[in-house]
């Protein structure tokens, strides 16, 4: 008749969403965890990004794109924004970032990367660069 309470997944999903252990369920749970565990610079930028609405589109937090989670993504304009901490300066993480950015570019996304300090100390400059990228995406092609 109805699934047992521990088979139901997702908040607000009602009885219609039953856990089946799929990869999508795992990715949705991981994205939710990442959204709850945002860093202070990510939170600061998120509050400001919510004010931007390029042609009615909007940014999503911890958006899944292929095997990756983008800190912020505007799917309409195909723009990804990453906020990097100090670990992104290490060789191993840098190599992973290069691979990830290449994947995103192959799938039509542009990637903007900012350091945590940029967001903390120069949020207006960061937003200016983001707006510039959004305007370029919305500009008609000659």
Rounded alpha-carbon distances, angstroms, from residue 25 to 13, 65, 141: 12, 15, 39
Distance of alpha carbon 111 from alpha carbon 104, whole angstroms: 8
Domain residue extents for the chain: 1-37, 38-138
How confident is the model at residue 106, as a pLDDT? Answer: 95
Q: Does domain 38-138 have CATH number 3.30.2130.10?
A: no
- Tell me which H or E stretch contains 70: strand 68-74
Instruction: Tell me what percent of the chain is helix, strand and coil, each rounded to the nearest 5.
Output: 55, 20, 30
Q: Say whether pTM exceeds 0.85.
A: no
Tens digit of pLDDT at every position of the chain (142 positions): 444 444 444 444 444 444 445 556 765 565 556 556 678 899 899 888 887 765 566 888 888 899 888 999 999 899 999 998 866 555 777 888 899 999 999 999 999 999 999 999 999 999 999 988 988 876 655 4
How confident is the model at residue 51, as a pLDDT? Answer: 79
């Amino acid at each position: 008749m109805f699934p047992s309470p521990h088979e139901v997944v997702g908040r607000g999903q009602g009885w219609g969403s039953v856990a089946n252990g799929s990869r999508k369920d795992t990715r949705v749970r991981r994205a939710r965890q990442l959204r709850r565990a945002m860093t202070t610079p990510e939170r600061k930028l998120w509050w400001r990004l919510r004010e931007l609405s390029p042609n009615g589109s909007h940014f999503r937090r911890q958006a899944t794109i292929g095997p990756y989670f983008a800190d912020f993504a505007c799917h309409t304009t195909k723009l990804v924004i990453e906020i990097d901490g100090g670990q992104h300066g290490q060789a191993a993480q840098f190599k992973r970032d290069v691979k990830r950015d290449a994947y995103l570019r192959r799938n039509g996304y542009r990637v903007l990367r900012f350091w945590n300090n940029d967001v903390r100390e120069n949020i207006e400059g960061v937003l200016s660069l983001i707006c510039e990228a959004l305007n370029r995406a919305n500009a008609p092609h000659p």
